[in-house]
Amino acid sequence: MQKRELGKSGLEVSALGLGCMSMSSGYGPAADNGEMIKLIRNAYDRGVTHFDTAEAYGPFANEELVGEALQPIRNNVVIGTKFGFEIDLETGKRGAGTDSRPEHIKLVAEASLRRLRTHHIDLFYQHRVDPAVPIEDVAGAVKELIAQGKVKHFGLSEAGVQTVRRAHAVQPITAVQSEYSLFWRGPEDELLPALEELGIGFVPFSPLGAGFLTGKIDENTKFDPTDFRNLVPRFSPKARKANMVLVDLVKAVAERKGATPAQVALAWLLAQKPWIAPIPGTTKLHRLEENLGAVNVELGENDLKQIDEASSDLKLEGARLPEAALKMTGR
Q: Is 125 a catalytic residue?
A: no
Nearest-5° angle of CA 162, CA 184, CA 238? Answer: 135
Which residue, 277, 270, 255, is CA-closest to 304?
Answer: 270
- Rounded distance between C-alpha atoms, residue 23 and residue 41, angstroms: 14
Determine the length of the chain: 331
Q: What is the Cα–Cα distance from 53 to 105, expressed in whole angstroms?
A: 16
Which string of DSSP letters, residue by residue, matches 212-269? GGGT---TT----TTBGGGG-GGGSHHHHHHHHHHHHHHHHHHHHHTS-HHHHHHHHH
Distance from C-alpha of 321 to C-alpha of 58, rounded to nearest angstrom: 20
DSSP 20-50: -GGGTSSBSSPPPHHHHHHHHHHHHHTT--E
> Do 76 and 47 touch, CB atoms closer than 8 A?
no
Helix segments in the chain, DSSP class H: 33-45, 61-70, 102-115, 135-147, 161-170, 191-198, 237-257, 261-270, 285-292, 301-312, 323-326
Question: Are the beta carbons of 85 and 56 closer than 8 angstroms?
Answer: yes
Catalytic residue among 27, 57, 125, 180: 57
Residues annotated catalytic, as ranges: 57
